[in-house]
Amino acid sequence: MSLLGGIQPGRLRSYLADALKDGPSNDGLMQRFQVLVWPDEPATWTYIDRPPNAAAVAQAQAVYGRLTAMDAEASKLYRFGADAQALFEAWMAALEPRIRGGELHPALVAHLSKYRSLMPSLALLFALADGEQATVSLAHAQQAAAWCEYLESHATRVYACIVSPALRAAGELSRRLAGGWRAKEGFCSARDVYNNGWSGLGTPEEARAALDVLEDAGWVRRLDIAPNPTGGRPTEMYEINPNARAAK
């Protein structure tokens, strides 16, 4: 069975929070959603009303027609071409040490472990879509490897939403900075951040943790502020990297 659909980030976080702490949801289901993406919400909206791309529709229909016409009772064997096989072996040789390295979260290890079959499966799908008859070419293997790299970046983002709240909060703050928040002033304080009540940034501790992450990444720089002569805690000020807006 194949599924195609979407889910709200909040519901996904709730599910992952249970699954990643060995709760009832930790049944390996999440790792089976291998073609999984978490895109950014577009900053702007434009109304578009145009007819479908007729050539693309016809091309897709031709692929579907060719695949459904295949004889389900007569199995067909596809193999990697010699150069595609060499690429696959090199790709696996790079993947396996990462899975066994002990540096990745167990949930991400389980997810990437399924890429062993995802990569050749994608390569075969690309070959079938292009009408190959018996051999999966180097070009299709390269496409599959590139897709796995792309999908891993999204899988990392999905699991980070619950594995590291500080990283999730830093991502939220980075999007605000890239959108121009406090760009005119060029500075912000921890109080400026948590007073907005943004997701994951509603307390002083959450704001400071996110700012620490962004400081390590070069988005902001903590400023040394002299203590208030009348006493009290000095204001925590951060200079915003002018290039943050360009990261939008």
176, 198 Cβ separation under 8 angstroms: yes
- Give the pLDDT of residue 72: 84
pLDDT tens-digit series, residues 57-80: 999 999 999 999 998 888 889 999
pLDDT tens-digit series, residues 225-236: 766 666 556 678
Torsion of CA 120, 122, 124, 125, to 10 degrees: 170
pLDDT tens-digit series, residues 125-139: 999 999 998 899 999
Q: By percentage, how much of the chain surpasses pLDDT 70?
A: 90
- Give the pLDDT of residue 12: 82
- Give the pLDDT of residue 55: 97
Q: Does the structure show a pLDDT above 80 at 197?
A: yes
User: What is the spatial distance between Cα 114 and Cα 123, in angstroms, rounded to a whole number?
Assistant: 15
Q: Tell me which of 185 and 107 has the higher pLDDT.
A: 185
Q: What is the mean pLDDT of the chain?
A: 88
- Kindly indicate the confidence band of residue 187, based on its pLDDT and cuts at 50, 70 and 90: very high
In order of their start, the domains of the chain are 9-37+78-163 (no CATH), 166-247 (1.10.10.10)
User: What is the spatial distance between Cα 73 and Cα 227, in angstroms, rounded to a whole number?
Assistant: 80
Rounded to a whole number, what is the distance in angstroms from the first to the last CA of the chain?
38
3-state secondary structure of 92: helix
Q: Does the structure show a pLDDT above 80 at 13?
A: no
Q: Tell me which of 169 and 49 has the higher pLDDT.
A: 49
User: What is the spatial distance between Cα 128 and Cα 76, in angstroms, rounded to a whole number?
Assistant: 11
Q: Tell me which of 115 and 107 has the higher pLDDT.
A: 115
User: What is the spatial distance between Cα 141 and Cα 155, in angstroms, rounded to a whole number?
Assistant: 21
**Least confident piece of the model among 14-23, 103-112, 163-172, 216-225:** 14-23
- Give the pLDDT of residue 103: 84
pLDDT tens-digit series, residues 158-181: 887 766 777 778 988 999 999 999
pTM here? 0.67
- Give the pLDDT of residue 160: 76
Radius of gyration of the chain (CA): 24
